[in-house]
Amino acid sequence: MSFLRGPCRATATTATTTAALHPQTAWSASCRLKTPSPALYQLRNASTQYSRPKTAIFFPGQGVQKVGMLTPWLEAFPSTATPILQEIDHIVGYKLSDVIREGPNSVLNLTVHAQPAIMATSIMILRILEKQFGFRASERADFTLGHSLGEFAALVAGGYLEFQDSLSMVQRRAEAMAAATKCAQEDFGGEYGMVAIVTEPEYLQPLISAIHDFTGYSSDGAKSESAEDKSPIDQVLIANINSKNQIVLSGNMERIKTLVAHVRQFLGHDPRAVRLKSDSPFHSPIMKPAVGVMQRILAGTSHVVGKEDQDIVSFPGTLPCVSNVSARPFESKADLKDLLARQCLETVRWWDSIKYLDQEQKVRRWIGIGPGKVGRNLVGKEVGMRGKDTVKGGGVWAITDPSEIEEVLRGLQETETLVEEE
């Protein structure tokens, strides 16, 4: 499957000359030239869809937000990006686009802005790929998944949620999470947040076991079942298992410090602790009120014009989508609604999700779409790839900026017929 049309190569000299004068203008012109013919795209895709390496599209979570992250896309694709930004502002009911473009960081980093900003930016990039390059997730990929917040973009890409419904859901989820944190602070005091713990792979499982023993949360659903047993100031637990050597703790900061000290004392190991850019303890029992909000939203109907009488969730979608909670694809509409609501407080099993796709489903090409490269780094750490990999027949890429599109599409083209040797 080729994404790049012949005429583009013929204009390389012109584009290069223009780039010397105005790189951004040259990039915009180059992007337009690389837009493939829909008919050609469909013909070639039909001939290769059963032989290409399995492919997954993944989306980032909170923490990757950056003031100005929309600007390169607006400059490169103004005719496509501008209407999408207007749609985003209309859905959320205020000028979120101004917050993203102008900040300041202290405002954008607030949960109520950061979550819808990241999700909306991810989908805007996907839409630009669709419109400008004929890239269709349902045709180019076999799975979607997203890291925590990124799951909402993955559900849009996989055909389970409409963008309007998903963005509204993210906005209300963010508001509920922020409110839950504020209540914990007002009622019990203390400071709340998240800390990444980086260790060596051989220490990961003993570390997880020690934390479970210390916190008392040791099974799926345990967080919600025992949330009433402890005051928020005592609630700290594993929010994410991100890779073979990284987990994230969430909850009261003093309690997290005590837990880390406990681990260092009893395991005889000194893992590195890094505080994350988060103003709330996500994926902890403190987030339980947000689960109720999500359950009520997911029990309702769509807000998209013409679909007001339809369930907010469509099932099945166009692509399997892997759940953060189960680390497996959603199995039914009821399963999706249950796990997506619980995702607010359950552990994000990102490492298990990647291992499932890599080892059991033999996914060999990974495309990150959205701001930041954290997701690509976490995936690459597990599957052992960076960019095109002719040995395994795939690669790990990320599209975070317009300048990366050509490299990624070329990498997909060049690995389209590669087959991994047994």
CATH number at residue 167: 3.40.366.10
Query: Which of 289-293's residues contact partners 24+ apart within 8 Å by CB, and which partners?
Result: 289/176, 289/179, 289/180, 289/183, 290/173, 290/176, 290/177, 290/180, 290/344, 290/345, 291/224, 291/341, 291/342, 291/344, 291/345, 293/172, 293/173, 293/176
Catalytic site residues? 148, 283
Residue 285 lies in a domain: no
Structurally, the chain folds into a number of domains equal to 3
Average confidence score pLDDT of the chain: 85
Domain boundary among 280, 306, 329: 280
Residue 220 lies in a domain: yes
Q: Tell me, what's the pLDDT at 232?
A: 61
Distance CA 208, CA 330 (A): 26
**pLDDT tens digits for range 343-365:** 999 999 999 999 999 999 999 99
User: Which segment of 95-99, 161-165, 256-260 scores lowest on mean pLDDT?
Assistant: 256-260
Q: Tell me, what's the pLDDT at 279?
A: 83
- 166 plus 312 within the same structural domain: yes
Residue 422 lies in a domain: no
Q: Report the CATH number that the domain containing residue 220 is assigned in CATH.
A: 3.30.70.250
Residue 184 lies in a domain: yes
Q: Which residue range forms the structural domain that includes residue 9?
A: 1-49
Whole-model pTM: value is 0.86
- 205 plus 296 within the same structural domain: no
Domain boundary among 280, 313, 333: 280
User: Which segment of 36-45, 220-229, 312-321 scores lowest on mean pLDDT?
Assistant: 36-45
- 271 plus 228 within the same structural domain: yes
Query: Which of 262-270's residues contact partners 24+ apart within 8 Å by CB, and which partners?
Result: 262/210, 262/214, 263/207, 263/210, 263/211, 263/214, 266/210, 267/203, 267/206, 267/207, 267/210, 269/199, 269/203, 269/206, 269/207
Distance CA 144, CA 152 (A): 10
